[in-house]
Amino acid sequence: MLEHVQLDQKTINKDLLGGVLGTPSWWLPTVLFLTLVVFTGLGAFGYMMNKGLGVTGLNRPVFWGFFLVNFVFWIGISHAGIMISAILRLTQAEWRRPVTRAAEVMTVFSLMAALHTPLFHVGRPWRDFWVFPYDFARGVWPNVRSPFVWDPSAVMTYLIGSSLFVFIALIPDLAVVRDRAKNVWVKRLYSGLCLGWRGTPRQWKLQAVAGILLSALVLPVFVSVHSIVSWDFAVVIGVEGWHSTIFAPYFIIGAIHSGVSAVAMLMALGVWMWKLDKYIRPDHFDAIARLLIVVATTWFFFFFLEWVFALYTLEGPEIVLRELQVFQWPYSALFIVFIVTAYFIPVPMWMFKSVRRSAFWMLITTILVNVGMWLERFIIIIPGLLRRQPLTFDWGTYHPSIVEILIVAETFAFVALGMLLFSKLFPLIPLFDIKEGMTNRREFKIGRLTIPATVRE
Amino acid sequence: MAESWGMIVDLDRCTGCQACVVACQSENNIPINEEEHFNQRRAIQWIRVERYWEGEFPNVRARFVPIFCQHCSDAPCEPVCPVYATYHNSEGLNVQVYNRCIGTRFCANGCPYHARFFNFWEPEWPESLTNQLNPDVTVRSRGIMEKCTFCIQRIRRTKRAATKSEGDSSAETIFANPELERALSPACVNACPTDTLVFGDLFEMLSARRAGERLPKPKNRAQEIVRRELQDAENGRGYRVLEEKGTNPSVIYLSKVDKETVEEAVSHG
C-alpha cells in the first residue's frame, strides 16, 4: 500500500524539470570525467583494431574473455526495462510510476553498451554487418542456425522496441518542456520532438494504447533476448560447463536479478543526486526490495539447480571444472565474492524493513548484487574456456589486458554518460505518469483510520 | 562419386619427430611460431604432436598423439558460424572460407579438439622466407580463423591431374596410382617417416559406422585398416577421439601397443 504524498502540478513540474531547465553543480564535472573514460575506451578500441586482437589477453583456448562477460552483463541489466515498465505496467503495480522511464532509458543505453561487444570482440569488426541478411552481393545468407545471427536480431528488436517505448512515454513531458522553454531554439527542438502534442483526449488515448501495446509486444523479447544470449554458450559442446539445458531460464532470471537491482540503484541515485525524495519514497524502495527478494531467491534456486544438473552426471571433466570454479585461485576468491555479494549479503539485509526503506542501504546492496552478477558471468564463461579437459595439452590461462579493462570501463562510463545526458535533455521521472498517479489516489476513512487507495475507472 | 576423406593415425608408429608439423607449416603458409607466440599461447599449428607422460619413474613412457582437425561429420564448429565461413563440403571436408570469416571465434569454442586457430596478429615471415610461400594456399590475414584443411589444394590439384592423365578423378583411380596418391595425400602424410598417417577415402566406412551397420568390404588401404581395427571392438585398436561427444570425426586413431601387453598376451597365448 502506497503512502500518500499529494503534490500539486506546479510543484511536480518544478521538481521534475529541475534537471532539464537547470543544471546541478556536480553534473558537468561528472559528464566530463565520463566522457574522458569513454574516449579512452574508444582509443583502446582503435588501438586494438589497428594492431589486432593480439593486444588483448585472449589466447587459445580462451577465445572469449572480458568482452563476452560484459556483453552478457549488459544484456542482463537491460532486462530491467521490460520488467519494470512492461510487466509492472501490465500488472498495474502502482509503485512503478516514478521508475519506469529511468528503467527504460537504462535499458536503451545498456543495450547499446552490450552492442559494443560484438562490435569490438570480433576479428574483423568492419565486416560485422555480414551477420545480417543484408549484403546480397555476397550471395551468402547468414547461417540461421548460429546464435550469433539470432543475437543481433533479438538485441536490435529489443533496442527498437524499448526506444519507441521511451519515446511514446516522453511525448507529453516533451510538450511540458516546450511550454516552459525560454530559448527559441530549445522551444523549436522540443516542439518538433513532441510531435504537436496538445493534450487532447484523443491524443491521450492513443498514447496510452501505444504504451500498453508496446509493453505487450515487447514481452516475448523479455524471454527471447537472454535465452538467445545463453545459447551462445549452451550450444557449444566443446566447452565443459556451458552445454546445459537450464541455461536459458537461468540466464533470464539472472538478468532480472541484476536488472531490477540496477533499477533500485538508479532510484537511490535519483534520491541522492537529484533530490527526488518526494517522488521516490521509502515505500517505493520497500516494494522493489520485496520484488528483489523473490527474484534473487528464484535466481539462487536456478543457480543451485545448474550445479545439481552438472554434478549429477558425475563426469570427470565436469567435476574438474566445478573444482576449478570453487577451489582454485583466483576463481575460488571470485566465486566467494560472487556468491556472497549476489545473494548472501543483500537478501538477508532486504529482510529488514529499515534496510528496504533506506535509499543508502538499497544503493549499497544493489551495487553489491551487480558486482556479484558480473562475476557470475565471469565464473560461467572463463573457467569453462580454460578447458581443463581430457586433452590436457591445451589447458589455458587467461589474464585480461589493459585494453580489455579500458573497454569494459568504457561501457560502464557510456551507460552512465548516456543517462546523464538524457537527464539533461528530458525529465528522468515521467511527469504525466506521476500526475496520473496523484489524480487516481483517494483516501478512505474507516473509523479513525485513513487508508490510501488507487481508483481506476 | 562423393568421397569422404579421412585419416588414420597409428599411435603405435608415431615417434613424435614433428616432421608432420614442419611439413604442414611450410605447405600451408603458416606463420613462423616464435617463442613469444608459444608464451602467449597463440601459436598456430594445424597439426600438433601432443606429448603425454604415462607411468611413474623409472617406468615413464612418452605418448605422442598428433591432433589436427578431425573433419567431423557432425562438426560442432559448423552450425555456430554466423557467416557460413565454415561448412561441410561434399567430400566430407570441414572447410574454412577465409574471406567470409569475421572472427567471432565461436567455432573455436565449439571444437572439443582445439583444432582451430585464430590469427591474433598479422602473420609475418622473415624476408628470406617470402619466396617459400606456397602459391596455392591463401595467406591468411589477421582476425580470422584457420585450421587443417586436409591439404585441400593438393586434393584439387591431383583431381585435375587425374582427370587429365587418367580421364577420371575418382578416389579408386587415384589410389590405384602411387604417384597420384602421394600427390593427393596431405603434406603431413607424405612427410611422416614411420607411416603413422594414412590418408584415404573412408566414405563407405564412415557412413556405415554412422548408421551403426557392419563395415563393408574395404576399397583401399585406409579402408582396410579401418575395417580391421575399428570393426572388432575386442581386438581392434581403432577409436575416434572424443567420439562420445557425437561429433562423428573422420580421423581414426589406432591405440599404442605396449611391450608388456604384447608379452602378456603371448604368454597367456
Is residue B154 very low, low, confident or very high in pLDDT (cuts 50, 70, 90)? very high
- Is residue A223 over pLDDT 90? no
The C-alpha atoms of residue B18 and residue A193 are separated, in whole angstroms, by 69
Q: Annotate chain B with DSSP letters as a single string.
A: ----EEEEEETTT-----HHHHHHHHHTTPPP--HHHHHTT----SSEEEEEEES-TTS-EEEEEEE-----TT-TTTTT-TT-SEEE-TTS-EEE-TTT-----HHHHH-TT--EEE--S-----GGGGGGS-TTSPPP-TT-EEE--S-HHHHHHHHHHHHHHTS---HHHHHHSHHHHHHHS-HHHHH-TT--EEEEE-HHHHHHHHHTPPP----SHHHHHHHHHHS-TTT--EE-TTGGGT---SEEEE----HHHHHHHHHH-
Chain B interface, mutation test: which of A66, A127, A382, most B Cβ atoms within 10 Å? A127
* Parallel/antiparallel/unpaired status of strands B5-10 and B251-254: parallel
Reference B192, options B4, B8, B63, B57; nearest CA is B8
pLDDT digits over A105-138, tens only?
Answer: 999 999 999 988 878 888 898 888 888 887 677 7
Closest in B48, B52, B143 to A123, CB measured: B143
Q: What is the pLDDT of residue A1?
A: 43
Reference B148, options B52, B50, B23; nearest CA is B23
- The answer to whether the beta carbons of residues A71 and A407 sit under 8 Å apart is no
Q: What is the pLDDT of residue A19?
A: 65
Question: By the CB < 8 Å criterion, does A388 face chain B?
Answer: no
Question: By the CB < 8 Å criterion, does A149 face chain B?
Answer: yes
Amino acid at A131: V
Pick the more confident residue, B134 or A14: B134
Which residue's C-alpha cell is 601459436? Answer: B43
Is residue A279 very low, low, confident or very high in pLDDT (cuts 50, 70, 90)? confident
Distance in Å, alpha carbon of A256 to nearest chain B alpha carbon: 26
Q: What is the mean pLDDT of residues B58-70?
A: 90
pLDDT digits over A332-374, tens only?
Answer: 999 999 999 999 999 999 999 999 998 899 999 999 999 999 9
A123 vs B101: CB contact, 8 Å cut-off?
yes
The C-alpha atoms of residue B154 and residue A75 are separated, in whole angstroms, by 46
Chain B interface, mutation test: which of A391, A395, A401, most B Cβ atoms within 10 Å? A391
Domains and CATH numbers, chain B: 5-151+186-268 (3.30.70.20)
Distance in Å, alpha carbon of B83 to nearest chain A alpha carbon: 5
Q: What is the pLDDT of residue A377?
A: 93
A391 vs B114: CB contact, 8 Å cut-off?
yes
Q: What is the pLDDT of residue A456?
A: 66
What residues contact residue A124 under an 8 Å CB cut-off, 6+ apart?
B101, B102, B103, B143, B144
Closest in B52, B112, B145 to A237, CB measured: B112
Nearest CA in chain B to A234: B110
Reduced to 3 states (helix: H, G, I; strand: E, B; else coil), residue A282 is helix
Cell of A291: 520484488
B residues 164-223 closer than 8 Å to A (CB): none
Q: What is the pLDDT of residue A86?
A: 78
pLDDT digits over A52-94, tens only?
Answer: 898 999 988 899 989 999 999 999 999 887 778 777 877 777 7
Side-chain half-sphere CA neighbours of A106 within 13 A: 31
Reference B219, options B233, B200, B234, B206; nearest CA is B200
- Is residue A194 over pLDDT 90? no
B80 vs A64: CB contact, 8 Å cut-off?
no
Pick the more confident residue, B112 or A86: B112
Domain boundaries, chain A: 12-136+237-425
Question: Among A71-75, A400-404, A424-428, B79-83, which stretch is predicted with the lowest mean pLDDT?
Answer: A424-428
Chain A interface, mutation test: which of B94, B105, B124, B146, most A Cβ atoms within 10 Å? B105
Residue A318 with chain B: CB contacts under 8 Å: none
The C-alpha atoms of residue A391 and residue A169 are separated, in whole angstroms, by 55
- pTM of the entire predicted model: 0.91
